[in-house]
Amino acid sequence: MHSEHRKKLIEALTEETGIVWIKGASPMNRYNTDYEFAFRQESNFLYLTNCHEPDFEVIIDLDDQQYYLIAPKRDANYAVWMGFVPEKEELLERYKPDTLLYSDERDAFLKRRNPEKVFCLDAEQAKEISDLGFSTDDNLLADALAHCRCIKTEWECNQLRSASAIAFVAHTKVRQMLKPGLFEYELKAAYLQEAMSRGLLHEPYNGIFAGGKGSAVLHYVDNNRKLKDGDLFLIDAGTEYNGYAADITRTYPVNGRFTDLQADLYEVCLRALNNSIAKAGPGVEMETLHLEAARDIVTGMKGIGLLKGNIDEMMEKNIFALFFPHGLGHFLGLDTHDVGGIPKNCEPVDRPGLKFLRARRKLEPGMVITIEPGVYFIPALLKPAFEDPEKNPYLNVEKLSTMMDFGGYRIEDNLIITEDGVENLTRVPKRLREISN
């Protein structure tokens, strides 16, 4: 399967001659200590090699399409402290390169090959090669890899399906445990136990387990509050399977019962999600989906009396961004916020609610995206808006002023774009009757 990824890259660089050289990740330590973080391979390197070990390098020859893997030269001291050092035959069988070299052979190999140009991921890696006297390019490769990675192969889609299936089990465990009196970190521990007991040792991101007003903090990571009766609880957590991420969000009532207002607002968010999923498919622009979801949100909030006035005017004046300040979704793959969502030379949008979009392109079959509308009550946005003569007329200030500690909602599913629509990977329940008493 990774040979197919290398072939895609060679085709993307078909007009070029020379070699691709990428240095894989090295172990990382906490500040200036010997505390070593769990190793996770750099995503582009993983995409091309399936190598989950540190300090490897890869060369792909664009002229003869040969695949060279460069292994670090380990000694007995490494084996004592860090573990087993595989034999050359084992590495050949595991990663199936055309040729396996060791790091002390690399420079001599490059001099013999004498490539016209060496394509590198970034300026730092390019300097290592240019210091050896070779011409380098540190612009083209990252763009070519983003182009390759944004359209998933069927093997990649299967990894994403597996990640989502295990995330479903972990999310279900948290929902079943949820009750007043628990701490957020207890729910995070239960989630991680479900994932790690199935061999998934890496989180694709630091999960959000947020109760009460913390549910309105977009990247809340404290996870240390005690849940109260009547609170909302937002869980944004995923799993990583063979490097591929699931990214799922749900919002629940801590005590199992939404109040009338909580239920009404949940339905507003859910309607924006379901409508976006129904509209998604090949040829659809992500920005269009975002704006239509924003319209669903302001329309729903007007319907329950939190907003007032003309919907078109509210859209024009960006009232939606007070409650839905982030993008509707992003690309998903080897990274949670995967590459390819923003085309090269795409001009930024200087507009509230749209300036943080992570996906701004027309959808194509094979792309994998998240859809995650949100409705939040964030004092830092609402209090200035109460005093803003352009925004105040559209806000029910009397009601909204009582909701500064209300929290917020986000509901997020993961979609594969297909030839005729979407495949929704996310099975975690979201209908009101499924998640509340």
Give per-residue pLDDT as tens, 4-49: 999 999 999 999 999 999 999 999 999 999 999 999 999 999 999 9
The pLDDT, as a whole number, for residue 143 is 95
348, amino acid identity:
P
∠ CA(374), CA(164), CA(243), 5° rounding? Answer: 105
Residues of the chain predicted below pLDDT 50: none
Predicted confidence (pLDDT) per residue in 390-416, tens digit = 999 999 999 999 999 999 999 999 999
Coil, helix or strand at residue 399? helix
The pLDDT, as a whole number, for residue 96 is 96
∠ CA(326), CA(419), CA(283), 5° rounding? Answer: 50
Going by C-alpha positions, the residue among 50, 86, 42, 85 that lies closest to residue 67 is 50
Predicted confidence (pLDDT) per residue in 177-226, tens digit = 999 999 999 999 999 999 999 999 999 999 999 999 999 999 999 999 99
The pLDDT, as a whole number, for residue 98 is 97
Pairing status of strand 421-424 against strand 99-102:
unpaired
The pLDDT, as a whole number, for residue 347 is 80
Q: Which residues pair with 214 in a beta bridge?
A: none
The pLDDT, as a whole number, for residue 343 is 84
Distance separating alpha carbons of residues 337 and 202, to the nearest angstrom? 16
The pLDDT, as a whole number, for residue 355 is 83
103, amino acid identity:
S
How many Cα atoms are found within 13 Å in the side-chain-facing hemisphere of 161? 10
Q: What DSSP assignment string belongs to 214-235?
A: GGGSTT-----PBP-TT-EEEE
Q: What DSSP assignment string belongs to 354-370?
A: TTT-S--SB--TT-EEE
Distance separating alpha carbons of residues 47 and 331, to the nearest angstrom? 16
Going by C-alpha positions, the residue among 210, 215, 250, 259 that lies closest to residue 406 is 215
Domain with CATH 3.90.230.10 in the chain: 154-435
- CA end-to-end span of the chain, whole Å? 46
The pLDDT, as a whole number, for residue 324 is 97
Domain with CATH 3.40.350.10 in the chain: 2-149
Looking at domain 2-149, its CATH superfamily turns out to be Creatinase/prolidase N-terminal domain (3.40.350.10)
The pLDDT, as a whole number, for residue 243 is 97
The dihedral of CA 129, 131, 134, 140: what is its sign? Answer: positive
The pLDDT, as a whole number, for residue 128 is 96
* Residues 300/267, Cβ–Cβ less than 8 Å: yes
User: In the CATH hierarchy, which fold is given to the domain comprising 154-435?
Assistant: Creatine Amidinohydrolase (3.90.230)
Angstrom distances, CA of residue 436 to CA of 178, 182, 202, 253, 266: 11, 18, 31, 7, 11
The pLDDT, as a whole number, for residue 77 is 84
Distance separating alpha carbons of residues 266 and 247, to the nearest angstrom? 19
Distance separating alpha carbons of residues 154 and 431, to the nearest angstrom? 30
The pLDDT, as a whole number, for residue 17 is 96
Going by C-alpha positions, the residue among 268, 249, 281, 285 that lies closest to residue 413 is 249
